[in-house]
Structure 1
């Protein structure tokens, strides 16, 4: 039985290779036997700039459930409304510098949020950040300091 350890290595290698293919559809004899879950797409798309940033991040990080997105950076865009972020409950880091955000209150729903950059949002109503008590690093536009 000197070959027994190598026998297990073969199965381990096969499992490793197959797990690397988890994002691909598998077919046998033209029959689909495995299809990965689709990328997450169930969020409010009313703000086109935020929607574009979310779609890009979801694609880049292959997010299949809202909870899988833990950071988002959308600087220098034309984002005005951030209500769509409420479904992404595991976001910890959020970069929204240099946009056109006036109301930051929707961020209070994101309990895991620890870092937020809102610098350069000249239209931000400063009182809307008062509910963001859980945030460890909060960067605000000059008129809010």
Structure 2
């Protein structure tokens, strides 16, 4: 067995422990049947009236391992059958959103998402264009034909 300096042994043990905790951040870690780390639960404190939007966000939160609404940065809900964005304004961290090929009519919630840089609403034939046109010019917008 190697005879290492006690300070070096302590440093190696600390590095190993830190690496173990970082590598297991999605898992509960126990030592001698005592929990030493439990990951934060995924964000679930929201309920959207549109079931299709709810399902898309549930999957996105699981994929991104988001523990708070603000952690959801991108949302791809194309071809999801979404008719309403009611409640989406809770996700204030959204920067990019793809809502192409849905059944959207009104989209006032998009105006409340201040971090948006990209919005795709192509393929929404009932979309009322005025709200989307009110988005700041800095936002990249992909619009349906009737809004161009």
Same fold, judged at TM 0.5 (above): yes
Identify which of 45, 49, 71 aligns with 1:46: 49
Residue of structure 2 in register with 1:119 after alignment: 122
Deviations 1:62-115 (A, max 9, x none): 110011110000111100111221111011000000000101211011000010
3-state SS, counterpart of residue 53 of structure 1? helix
Q: Name the structure 2 match of 1:27.
A: 30
Paired position in structure 2 for 1:64: 67
Q: Is the 8 A contact 2:66 2:72 kept in 1?
A: yes
Output the TM-score relative to the length of structure 2. Answer: 0.87
Q: TM-score, normalised by structure 1?
A: 0.89
Gap change, CA 1:54 and 1:25, over 3 Å in 2: same
Aligned length: 145
8 Å CA contact 1:39–1:58 kept in 2: the answer is yes
CA distance in 1, matches of 2:20, 2:82: 41
Structure 2, unmatched stretches of 5+, are: none
Within 5 A, what are the aligned runs for 1:103-118? 103-118=106-121
2:86 is matched with: 83
1:15 corresponds to 2:18: yes
CA contact (8 A) 2:101 2:122 kept: yes
By how many angstroms is 1:23 displaced?
Answer: 2.0
Report the aligned-residue RMSD. 2.1
Structure 2 residue aligned with 1:94: 97
